[in-house]
Amino acid sequence: MENELLTTDNTHLWLMAIVIAALGAALFSRLSILMLRHRIQLRGLRAQRGEIEAVKMLKNEGYRILATQPEQAWPVVCDGESQSVRLRVDLIVSRDNKRYAADVKTGAIAPRLQTAATRRQLLEYSLAYDVDGVLLVDMEKREVREIEFPGAQRCDHASVERLVWMSASCFLCCAYWL
């Protein structure tokens, strides 16, 4: 009566139980992966539909669509080494002689400014693209919101270049008169 469960008669039952448990775990794992892929595909389709609807909505609100999904190379310096990162905003639009980078968001969480990823993305677009502002297009609420970052200053290279030329001209004039 040492151990009736581990007798030779019950060994095949234990092996079958182990095989069934392993197959169940493998099936569960595979189904989980398939469900995740499906959710990702649905999210992508929802985002694409949102962007198509956003174009219509922006046009109805008087915006002109200048570009869709434009890529922008943006220089970043890390430890003294310059690197270029690629950015892609959903839309570049204009209205009233102003250009905007428009980011289209779907879902309940992504359009909220409390969402750090959304806020950072909008700030990045405002600095990297040659625009006057950024728009957050909330497709759930069907709203277009202009977002400003008061502390962030985009470097206007044309203004800096003019300042350098004016400074050099002043310096040369002063040197000439002295």
Give the tens place of pLDDT for each residue, 20-72. Answer: 888 888 888 887 777 777 676 666 566 667 678 889 999 999 999 999 999 98
Location of structure tokens 């095949």: 12
What pTM did the predictor assign? 0.62
What residue ranges do the domains of the chain occupy?
Answer: 45-177
Query: Per CATH, the architecture of 45-177 is what?
Result: 3-Layer(aba) Sandwich (3.40)
> What is the side-by-side strand order in the sheet with 98-105?
64-68, 91-95, 98-105, 133-138, 143-147
Q: Which residue has the higher pLDDT, 105 or 32?
A: 105
Q: What is the pLDDT of residue 131?
A: 93
**DSSP-derived secondary structure letter, 63:** P
Q: Which residues, other chains included, contact 51 with Cβ-Cβ below 8 Å and sequence gap of 6+? A: 68, 90, 91, 104
Q: What is the pLDDT of residue 58?
A: 94
Of 34-48, 66-80, 94-108, minimum mean pLDDT range? 34-48
